[in-house]
Amino acid sequence: MAATVKYDEVTVGQEIPAVEYGVRRLNLVMYAGASGDFNQIHWNERFARMVGLPDVIAHGMYTMAQAGRFVTDWAGDPGAVVDYGVRFSSMVVVPDDDQGATITVTGLIEEKLEDKRVVIGLTAKSADARVLSKARAIVQLT
């Protein structure tokens, strides 16, 4: 499957509209099962607070995956992402209520490369905190 975004249709400085991803405790439990990461800070509020956290927090890799999902949904093809990396800069605190937390991801076309590739800078925030920094993806377009 080829990317549906065309190289000739994007410009440097073009914004990719924000997408919000809800995170509830159930999402963390499902992610723990899929990843094998059952660290108690991701599901046990009492333990999380005991080690100094404000509440249960999302797995860093879960947060990274939501930003990756943002890119693949935009590109139209998961295989179009040829490079992706982030640094973790803050936590996604997930309260035990009906709302949980929200991760908001936005993107910006930072550079157009040869071979119809683009560099996308990503911003991911939760509760007004930037949760990923230096988040970049290189995407192969058609």
Q: pLDDT, tens digit, for every residue of 55-104?
A: 999 999 999 999 999 999 999 999 999 999 999 999 999 999 999 999 99
Give residues with Cβ within 8 angstroms of 9, minimum separation 6.
none
Instruction: State residue 4's pLDDT score.
Output: 87
pLDDT band at 2; cut points 50, 70, 90: low
**Neighbour-count burial for 14-51, b at 16+ CB within 10 Å, e otherwise:** eebeebebebbbebbeebbeeeeeeeebbbebeebeee
Q: Name the CATH architecture for the domain at 7-22+57-140.
A: Roll (3.10)
Mean per-residue pLDDT, 109-138? 97
Residue ranges per domain, the chain?
Answer: 7-22+57-140
| pLDDT > 70? residue 118 | yes
Question: CA-to-CA distance for 71 and 118, rounded, in angstroms?
Answer: 11
Q: What is the pTM of this model?
A: 0.94
